[in-house]
Amino acid sequence: MPGVLVFAELADGGLASISKELFSAGRPLAQALGEPLCTFIPAEKGGEVAKEAGALGADRVYVAEHPLLREPHPDYHLIALERAVQQVRPSVVLLGKTPLGINVGPRLAFRLGVGVAQDVVALKIEGDALIAERPVYGGNAMARVALREKPFVATVRPKAFEPLDPTPGRTAPVQAIPVAIEPAAVKVKVLERKKVEATGIRLEDARVVVGGGRGLGGPEPFQQLEELARLLGGAVGASRAVCDAGWLPYQYQIGLTGKTITADLYIAVAISGASQHMAGVSTVKNIVAINKDADAPIFQEARFGVVGDWKKVLPAFTDEVRKLLQQ
């Protein structure tokens, strides 16, 4: 019976998008193994989310409720997941490549003495192994790896799988998993959370993103990017070079070690298109690049390109966009 166990995360009171994507990733594995698709929901209150998981395709839902599971504290969640794995004894454990998942997934695996495939974009069962594909060398290459000892543990890159649509009325049996968390035994103590207040549309959710790179030469030109983003109802992002230079805070960074955007349109201005940057825009169908170097790698992934100096291209482009939008 065991199963494929999806470690669920919550966002805005419901299942996080990545967790829905994990159901899509896990379903074919469960089918190949002839085992149920299960989910584990560690939360302060998991009831409503348990129903949502059933509608999204989970065959069995396990819920651990504890007040300490309200915040995404890796150690508390690791205790909860370890407990769930002891009980369910799954063949596969899937987590998101999220701040929580990249802490909890590997540590669970090492505790169990097994390996973990990190940041995977494709998964399948082949014989007695889990085969995973993962970008390596910053996305310049792909590796195909095999895990052969169960449970197979993998963290999955956000947006690598399309979330399934819920089936209204579909339900799954829900089982509570009691967890005891002894805060005194957890050495990692959060003293304070320093939140940066987000203004405007969230970069991750924006339909249009205007990204700026090192070629902008300083922080000032980002005002022009802001203006364009405002016109298009979008958000501004940046390359790591920009954040490392202190032109914008790190919350703006797009890429492998920054944010993954899901926009329909990404306008990259003076960004070379290093694979580590492009890792954050891999699901964007329409990339527009403005770069003075015709050989910049970004043009290999762009749908539309302008070879030119942004100082001249961008203002003319923005003015024309404004005109077109007024028509």
Ligand X SMILES: Cc1cc2nc3c(=O)[nH]c(=O)nc-3n(C[C@H](O)[C@H](O)[C@H](O)COP(=O)(O)OP(=O)(O)OC[C@H]3O[C@@H](n4cnc5c(N)ncnc54)[C@H](O)[C@@H]3O)c2cc1C
Figure out which of the listed residues 213, 221, 234, 305 binds ligand X, where binding follows CB under 6 A. 213
- DSSP β-ladder status, 122-126 and 152-156: unpaired
Q: Is 117 in the site for other proteins (CB under 8 A)?
A: yes
Q: Is 205 in the site for other proteins (CB under 8 A)?
A: no
Q: Is 190 in the site for other proteins (CB under 8 A)?
A: yes
Q: Which residues ranging from 115 to 144 are in contact with ligand X (CB under 6 A)? A: 138
- Is residue 134 classed as helix, strand or coil in its secondary structure? strand
Q: Is the peptide bond before 90 cis (omega within 30 degrees of 0)?
A: no
Q: Which residues ranging from 33 to 62 are in contact with ligand X (CB under 6 A)? A: none
Of ligand X, other proteins, none, which one sits near residue 70, judging by CB under 5 to 8 A according to partner kind? Answer: none
In angstroms, the CA 62 to CA 222 distance is 47
Of ligand X, other proteins, none, which one sits near residue 255, judging by CB under 5 to 8 A according to partner kind? Answer: ligand X
Q: Which residues ranging from 63 to 82 are in contact with other proteins (CB under 8 A)? A: 72, 74-75
Over the window 239 to 268, marking each residue x when it contacts ligand X by CB under 6 A and - when it does not, the resulting string is xxxx----------xxxxxx----------
Over the window 6 to 45, marking each residue x when it contacts other proteins by CB under 8 A and - when it does not, the resulting string is ----------------------------------------
In angstroms, the CA 109 to CA 147 distance is 11
The secondary element (H helix, E strand) that includes residue 284 is none
| 152-189 exposure pattern, b = at least 16 Cβ within 10 A, e = fewer | bbbbbbbbbbebeebeeeeebebeebebebeeeeeeee
Amino acid (one-letter) located at 263: A
Over the window 46 to 65, marking each residue x when it contacts other proteins by CB under 8 A and - when it does not, the resulting string is --------------------
Q: Is 164 in the site for other proteins (CB under 8 A)?
A: no
In angstroms, the CA 88 to CA 85 distance is 5
Q: Is 107 in the site for other proteins (CB under 8 A)?
A: yes
